[in-house]
Amino acid sequence: MVGSVSRKTDYVVAGDEAGSKRAKAGELGVTVLGEDAFLELLAPDRKET
């Protein structure tokens, strides 16, 4: 985890009201993931309950 977004950032995990970090990620072309996409990335075979 880091405190700022840069071109070296691979992903930003953000909710609907993420604010400036989400905007910065968009400007830099960094992939922004929601919670579900992040969890899928961590455990692609997990089942929804």
pLDDT value of residue 16: 82
pLDDT of res. 19: 86
pLDDT tens column, 1-49 = 788 899 999 999 998 888 899 999 999 999 999 999 999 999 888 666 5
b (16+ CB within 10 A) / e for 5-41 = beeeeeebbbeeeeeebbebbeeeebebeeeeeeeee
pLDDT of the residue at 44? 80
Residue with tokens 């071109």: 7
CA–CA distance from 19 to each of 4, 46, 48 (Å)? 12, 29, 28
Provide the pLDDT for residue 47. 65
User: Do the Cβ atoms of 29 and 11 come closer than 8 Å?
Assistant: no
pLDDT at 49: 56
**pTM over the 0.75 mark:** no
